[in-house]
Amino acid sequence: MSEEFHPHSQFPGPGLFDGPDALTREHEILLFHIQNTPLAAIEWDLDFRVKYWPRRAEEIFGWTAEEVKGLHPTEWAFVHPDDI
């Protein structure tokens, strides 16, 4: 059985994460939730270009991160042609 990262079981509670690693730890927890949501949590930059395309978005929309990263939604067919 492989060990999985479970952020809340390892979180010591409020006030115990003060220090230079606090932001890193909070980022890890947020990233864990984004990567494990059943939804496609896509991150866009200020120009509405794909900044982060998670595995779940690949499963839902059919495009890999390499295919869409940096693109504006008008620059590709958001719904994969195989799904139309």
Q: What is the pLDDT of residues 23-65, one digit of tens each?
A: 888 888 888 888 888 988 999 999 999 999 998 999 988 899 9
pLDDT attached to residue 1: 43
Residues 6+ apart with CB under 8 A from 83: 61, 62
**C-beta of residue 52 within 8 angstroms of C-beta of residue 64:** no
For residue 37, count CB atoms less than 10 angstroms from its CB and return exposed for 0-12, middle for 13-18, buried for 19 or more: exposed
d(CA 75, CA 68): 9
Token reading at 78:
């958001």
Q: Does the pLDDT of residue 19 top 70, yes or no?
A: no
pLDDT attached to residue 6: 54
